[in-house]
Amino acid sequence: AYEPVWAIGTGKVATPEIAQDVHAKCRSILADMYGQETADSVRILYGGSVSPDSVDGLLAKPDIDGALVGGASLSAESFGRVINFEA
């Protein structure tokens, strides 16, 4: 999982483009180390303050395979929206 240091505990979220760039770099490093097939099979999650407002944009990106949900999981309505994202 990836979470920007500046997002930890702040409620701030990376833009989908920033998160995608970092996830793509992580996948590229995995491909260099273990081959493309392995890199493609690894699920890389985003973990920085995923919310109902940010989930669709984040999970629409090709290298973001899921989300670690923090505070949004404390409300059934928010969590329901996150797990029913629209990519």
Q: Collapsing DSSP states into helix, strand and coil, what is residue 80? A: helix
Residue 7 has pLDDT above 90, yes or no: no
According to the 3-state scheme, what is the secondary structure of 1-46? CECCHHHCCCCCCCCHHHHHHHHHHHHHHHHHHHCHHHHHHCCCEE
pTM for this entry:
0.88
Note the pLDDT tens digit of each residue in 29-82. 999 999 999 999 999 999 878 999 999 999 999 999 999 998 889 999 999 999
Residue 20 has pLDDT above 90, yes or no: yes
Between 55 and 86, where is the model more confident?
A: 55
**21, amino acid identity:** D
Tokens representing residue 13 in the block: 């979220």
**11, amino acid identity:** G
pLDDT of residue 10: 84
